[in-house]
Homo-oligomer: A and B are copies of this chain.
Amino acid sequence: MRAVEALFFDVFGTVVDWRTSITNEMKNFAGARGLDADWAALADHWRGLYQPAMEEVRAEGRGWVILDTLHGENLDKAWAAFDLPALDTADRKHLVAAWHRLDPWPDAVAGLTRLKAGYIIAPVSNGNIALITNMAKRAGLPWDVVLGAEVARAYKPMPEAYLNSAAAIGRAPEHCMMVAAHNDDLHAAKAQGLKTAFIPRPLEFGPGGGADVEPTGDWDVVAESFEALAEELEL
């Protein structure tokens, strides 16, 4: 495993607990305005529109669009689906930026700090650079470099998302390891020659939410936290 020089991290679900964070943002926003809804359900609905929106970009029917833009469009749809009163521009902007304010899982900062001592650590996320940078600054995620969709100009699981990220840091794919809580991300990374580490996050979609808990591929590492990953990688 010493041939690995860089660790690529999925972010939403793997590094940060988007569901709890978005639900709490919604509750705080709603509380000040007397709005009522099942905010966790709205968070799930909003997140559920993520893959179809990216697919419009991946399928090339639509030109390149950053995730902030897709989050805004999807918020409009989710808001309407829950029969909530229309958002003004400032409120819409505030809620879209909630994805810049997600809290990390408890092991994330300590684990990344440890992993950084031995590897280049980089987000390879579908989040845009501003989102990932603001999130890291707020949460203390010690990335060496921000890679991913906006640098690669491709959304995962497109091959270019992995290959262009590896090329950007001048590494062959086999010297990079994708770290994710999602088997599909790892299958796509492995198909391009990257090493793989599966870190299940059973509560990503809430209790009984159906997160990936078992590996569905022959991943190089399976560990229950970033700290356990550091152990596996002998740091």
Residues of chain B contacted by A133 (CB below 8 angstroms)? 120, 144-145, 169
Q: Give the complex CA separation of A131 and B144 in angstroms.
A: 12
Kindly report how many copies of this chain are found in the complex they form together. Answer: 2
A23 at the interface (CB under 8 A from B): no
Q: Which interface residue of A128, A130, A136 has the most chain B CB atoms within 10 A?
A: A130
Is the pair A130, B68 in contact by a Cβ cutoff of 8 Å? no
Residues of chain B contacted by A136 (CB below 8 angstroms)? 144-145
Is the pair A129, B68 in contact by a Cβ cutoff of 8 Å? no
Is the pair B151, A137 in contact by a Cβ cutoff of 8 Å? no
A168 at the interface (CB under 8 A from B): yes
Q: Give the complex CA separation of A134 and B145 in angstroms.
A: 10
A150 at the interface (CB under 8 A from B): yes
A133: nearest chain-B partner, CB-CB? B145
A100: nearest chain-B partner, CB-CB? B170
